[in-house]
Structure 1
């Protein structure tokens, strides 16, 4: 204890550790918010995270509607994920790798003839 007030100093109180899986959930939700409306058959975004001290490196996998501006969508996901992880977990996010895993036709009945849906 420090001083005579009975308060415990900051260095003596301990630390807060946020589990990687919690940061991954924050990142996946942020990616979902950034993408907006998803095609009906699209899987929700998935994220994996590596945390080292107060820095998180994030990988996000997602499905997108087709056609769309893929570069713009990925940029939006990167920005939103970095902002939300910093705001909610207090971590810097120097890297957000976005992997587009599937493209889903955006209209009903847009599958090419002879394809199985």
Structure 2
């Protein structure tokens, strides 16, 4: 005759504590690129591009931009760095120690418009 003690049922684990969530690097890169576009108030055609590497909870971010010139390039880059880091911390709970910026191209702040074509006038 054996006298086995009944096993206690373990307490259920809350759903939020079960499993793991992994966000793909390309998804994190899309979040970073969108945040950069928001920081610059850039039109959709001139979207920044981001490359991200995530290791554990740390994201290394590189953003490529096209900026208007003449303008305050340093201020625009600082705004991009701040918003990209903030968005990745808010949306993906990632630590972003730095955001590297590559300015790939500068374009005129105002669109170039050629002088209207008119008739040549000859003076007599």
**TM-score interval, normalised by the smaller of the two chains:** 0.7 to 0.9
Specify every segment of 5 or more residues in structure 2 that has no aligned partner in the other structure, as ranges.
1-7, 115-124
Instruction: State the secondary structure of the residue aligned to 1:93.
Output: coil
Distance 1:101 1:5, change over 3 A: same
Indicate the structure with greater strand content: 1
Question: Structure 1 residue runs of 4+, over 6 Å off?
Answer: none
Distance 1:109 1:13, change over 3 A: closer
Q: Using the TM superposition, give the Cα deviation of residue 6 of structure 1 relative to its aligned residue in structure 2, in angstroms.
A: 5.4
State the match for 2:120 in structure 1: none
Deviations 1:69-94 (A, max 9, x none): 00000000000000000000000000
Q: Using the TM superposition, give the Cα deviation of residue 19 of structure 1 relative to its aligned residue in structure 2, in angstroms.
A: 0.6
Instruction: State the secondary structure of the residue aligned to 2:71.
Output: coil
Specify every segment of 5 or more residues in structure 1 that has no aligned partner in the other structure, as ranges.
112-117
Give the paired residue count.
106
Q: Using the TM superposition, give the Cα deviation of residue 106 of structure 1 relative to its aligned residue in structure 2, in angstroms.
A: 1.5
State the match for 1:8 in structure 2: 13
Structure showing greater radius of gyration is 2
1:19 to 18, 24, 46: 24
